Structure 1
Amino acid sequence: MPLKTIGTIAIPEAAGSEFDHAAFDAKSRRVFIAHTARNCIEVIDHDAGRHIATLPGFPGVAGAVADDGQILATNRGGASVALLDAVTLETRATFKSGARPNGAVIVARSSLGIAACIGDDKEAPTLHVYGLSDHKQVSIELPGRPRWCVTDAAAERLFLCIREPSMVLVAPLPDLGAVTHWKIPSSGAHGLDIDHSRQRLYVACDDSTLVEISSTSGEVTNVWPIGGPPDVTFFNPATGLVHVAIGEPGLVDSIDPRNGHSTRTVTGAGAHTTALVVPNQLYVVSPAHGGVLVLSDS
């Protein structure tokens, strides 16, 4: 059965707009959504089911990630990364990045922020690790355009999708020392998430496939077809399902990697970004609906 729509949440100026990666912060019970076209971050009160704030000043914001009351946002139009307080909604710090920062991770317990930068005509793609408390920074050049990234459970290794050559780049944290490259048999590695308990990475690729690989060895363990070129990908540890958002024609494909069973939920054209609220809800940001579709994942 497809995921069940249980409600919608309106976002100001959302109709026909453009959004990117969003995240749920369990401490504040809020969802933070990168509103790329409006250079702002939208804030949803999950428990109340309503939009509560528009935070301006995030040029070309490409994504928001959350951990323990802290939000990290990548400002693709400003070559910077911003650290926010999820409760007060204040910006605590801003860090200079490479050109066009994109994928990001925040690890509150280690006071680490991570941003992968696409680069431009003057700068190569780069990966940056920030000390959120001491403001120290380490960076390396990347072999291609970065997409999304995650860490292992101990936050000792970073996994980063590279579009071309299609791979998962693996780097130790926090020093980014000995980097390894795990080739992906599908083109255009893009969306990414991890199942810590089974030690599996899920890589959604531009050639309309979802690839499962071991997070310890890089061995490919499964490949499944999906309904189009993907974007945001989430693994729900409560249900065991992998949800892949596909902006055109507007779908969420949900795959159970334990048996390969899949279902498809129609969303809306341009709805390529989501936020997972564990244990049982998936927010789909849909410009066609003027905000967020709230889906039940149970």
Structure 2
Amino acid sequence: MISLILATALATAGFTTTPLVSLPEPGGWDYLAFDEASRRLFVTRGDHIDVVDVDAAGAVARIEGLKGAHGVALVPLQQRGFVSDGKTDKVLVFDMTTFKTVSVISLSGKKPDAILFDKASGHVLAFNGDSHDASVIDPTQARQIGSIELPGAPEFAVSDGIGHVFVNLEDRNALTRIDTRSGKVDGTFDLAGCKAPSGLAIDSIRHRLFSVCENEVVVITDAASGRQVATLPIGKGADAAGFDSRTGRVYSSNGQSGTLTVIEGDGADHYRVTATVPTQRSARTLALDERNGRVFLSAAELSPAPEGKRPTMVDGSFRILTVSSSPGAGK
């Protein structure tokens, strides 16, 4: 049914959901990463990365040599990408122009998941779920140069670009802050009312953090003080959040509900849900194209599962969706 609906597009409150490209190979998926300069979307697919030209709406390359791809960090000045491979405790480095593998970095940490590039320190950080630490990588040398112990199990992470990285702690219902110049944790903030935070986004101008939680809320935190600013409802099964600096919108992709929650801010301390956009059940991760005001979502049709088990993906159904908006949408 969802295929027929999306063939003609779903629209609500000025937002429209449409299919972008089909990537029918089997396999799971995790984070999305978008390079606005090259217009390339990097789609993690377990044992490989699909590279999609979003303007041409087609796959242009495939990065192989992985076993459990989770996240992609991009370092544009060096034209290098870094992929966390949770099943091998390694990071694969690829050329952003040719998409060929350049090297593979063995980590001291266990089960790398989230990964990002921090401009202030010039380092790539891979967050290790099993060893509760972050591996610090020198992207020029393509090697690990240090490790940062974390006070819990890390989930998604973001950088403010001026010396701090923030990461959700899933097992502690908390958020921790790393000073990337010293390489040490310099604050941990409780996320009251939040269970198992996963996706995280940042408004670097207003210094606000947006943690999406398993119990269908997003908690908004002051990045400087750790003060909890607001808690708002979202859909079920959120695994990613995004902040569009051009529109000021916050997004939560809710995989079990099959919706995208849109949040607007009235100043730094007042937020409200302005739209709940139908997407597709399973669309839990996202990336933003701020130039065109689009949200990319990865999704697949799911078969019913026996009680207590996860549903399985229908073969050939994996695709990338886009949510776009008209002027004044969600107001």
- 1:5-50 Cα distance to aligned partner (Å, 9 max, x none): 2442111315xx42110111123220001112xx110100122121
Distance in 2 of aligned mates of 1:67 and 1:262: 34
Query: 1:107 deviation in Å?
Result: 3.5
* Alignment partner of 1:240 out of 242, 248, 257: 248
Distance in 1 of aligned mates of 2:209 and 2:168: 11
Match of 1:216 in 2: 224
Tell me the number of residue pairs that the alignment of Structure 1 and Structure 2 aligns: 289
Distance in 2 of aligned mates of 1:179 and 1:111: 19
- Please tell me whether the aligned partners of residues 261 and 273 of structure 2 are also in contact (alpha carbons under 8 angstroms): no
Distance in 2 of aligned mates of 1:223 and 1:8: 32
Match of 2:127 in 1: 116
What amino acid is the match of 1:281? R
- 1:200-238 Cα distance to aligned partner (Å, 9 max, x none): 111111111101111111111111011113101111111
Distance in 2 of aligned mates of 1:78 and 1:245: 28
The equivalences for 1:140-219 within 5 A come to 140-154=148-162, 156-185=163-192, 186-219=194-227
Distance in 2 of aligned mates of 1:179 and 1:95: 27
1:79 equivalent in alignment to 2:89: yes
Distance in 2 of aligned mates of 1:83 and 1:232: 24
Match of 2:25 in 1: 13
1:229 equivalent in alignment to 2:237: yes
1:102 equivalent in alignment to 2:113: yes
Distance in 1 of aligned mates of 2:182 and 2:117: 15
Match of 1:262 in 2: 274
SS of the residue 2:238 aligns to: coil
**Alignment gaps of 5+ in structure 2:** 1-12, 302-316, 327-331
TM-score (norm 1): 0.91
**Alignment gaps of 5+ in structure 1:** none
Match of 1:90 in 2: 100
> Larger radius of gyration, structure 1 or 2?
2
Match of 2:53 in 1: 45
CA RMSD of aligned residues (A): 1.8
Most deviating of 278-287 and 83-92: 83-92
Distance in 1 of aligned mates of 2:288 and 2:51: 14
Query: 1:109 deviation in Å?
Result: 7.3
Distance in 1 of aligned mates of 2:119 and 2:191: 30
Match of 1:125 in 2: 132
Distance in 1 of aligned mates of 2:185 and 2:198: 23
Match of 1:61 in 2: 69
Query: 1:136 deviation in Å?
Result: 4.7
- Please tell me whether the aligned partners of residues 280 and 299 of structure 2 are also in contact (alpha carbons under 8 angstroms): yes
Query: 1:178 deviation in Å?
Result: 4.5
Distance in 2 of aligned mates of 1:106 and 1:178: 17
* Alignment partner of 1:296 out of 311, 321, 324: 324
